[in-house]
Amino acid sequence: MSALTGGFTSPAPQAARAFRLALMALSRPGRIETVSGATGPAPLSAAAATLLLVLADRDTPIFLGAGHDGTDVREWIAFHIGAPLVPPEAAMLAVGTWPDLPLSRFPIGLPDYPDRSATLIVESPAISAEGPRLTGPGIAGEARLSLPEVNAFRANRMLYPQGLDFFFTAGDRLAALPRSTQVESA
């Protein structure tokens, strides 16, 4: 494993397929997808590495949580993406474990431009369809997802249409929670 390996071998179809799956996860909150294509250096999961390649380019400032911020990951991002690494306040995308992501410091967008907000990739020990109850757009009835907590997501929902969007990654699995989803304790 080096900084120069682990990118897409066939960028166009692999990126299109992974992007489609990420979109499915985001538009169907709670749905778990399996993605592949990229392999990043530890501790980056395959799903997070693939998401980075799909969502980021050199115009996407990225924040790395403390556990992910090492030479290997930095060099991998420099070669495969070329994105600048920035503090949370300037980030459009962030990767890290839940405790490593300082939620209050990320941009939540402006009333006129709610899209100028950050998307957080939360590296998780595991993802399963159990736990807090999700309702809202894209969910038929209700869904369940193993979230690290409830209050942070309830507070985020209150900011709508501003706010943060989340991906959760574990191994090659990912799920997503957009700002439009209501979260309640199980």
Partner 1 sequence: MYVAVKGGERAIDAAHAWLAEERRGDPAIPELSVAQIRSQLTLAVNRVMTEGALYDPDLAALAIKQARGDLIEAIFLLRAYRTTLPRLGTSQPLETAKMQVSRRISATFKDLPGGQVLGPTFDYTHRLLDFALMAEGEMPAAPTAPVRDDPVPHVMGLLDRDGLIEPAPEGGTPADLTRAPLEFPADRALRLQSIARGDEGFLLGLAYSTQRGYGRTHAFVGELRIGTVAVEMEIPELGFAVEIGEIEVSECETVNQFKGSKTEPPQFTRGYGLVFGQNERKALSVSLVDRALRWQELGEDFVGAPAQDEEFVLSHCDNVQATGFLEHIKLPHYVDFQAELELIRRLRREALQEAAE
Partner 2 sequence: MSLLTDRRALMGLLARAAPDRLAALAGPLPEAIELRPAQTGTVMVQGRIGGTGAAFKMGEMVVTRCSVQVAGIAGHAHVQGRDKAHARTAAVLDAMWQADPARIAALLAPLAAEETARRQTRAAKAAATRVEFFTLVRGEDQ
Distance (Å, rounded) from C-alpha 186 to C-alpha 111?
A: 32
Single residue of 15, 69, 78, 79 touching partner 2 by CB under 8 A: 79
Least distance (Å) between residue 78 CB and partner 1: 4
Q: Which stretch binds partner 1 (CB under 8 A): 31-39, 53-61, 91-99, 146-154?
A: 53-61
Residue 16 makes contact with partner 2 by CB under 8 A: no
DSSP string, 115-145: TSB-EEEEE-S---S-SSEEESTT-SS-EE-
Sign of CA dihedral 136, 137, 139, 145: negative
Residue 160 makes contact with partner 1 by CB under 8 A: no
Residue 19 makes contact with partner 2 by CB under 8 A: no
Residue 86 makes contact with partner 1 by CB under 8 A: no
Sheet of 165-170: strand order equals 33-34, 173-177, 165-170, 119-123, 93-97, 62-64
Least distance (Å) between residue 15 CB and partner 1: 10
Beta carbon nearer to partner 1, 3 or 150: 3
Number of chain positions touching partner 2 (CB under 8 A)? 8
Cβ atoms of residues 103 and 133 within 8 Å: no
Please give the residue ranges that form the binding site for partner 2 (CB under 8 A). Answer: 4-5, 7, 9-11, 79-80
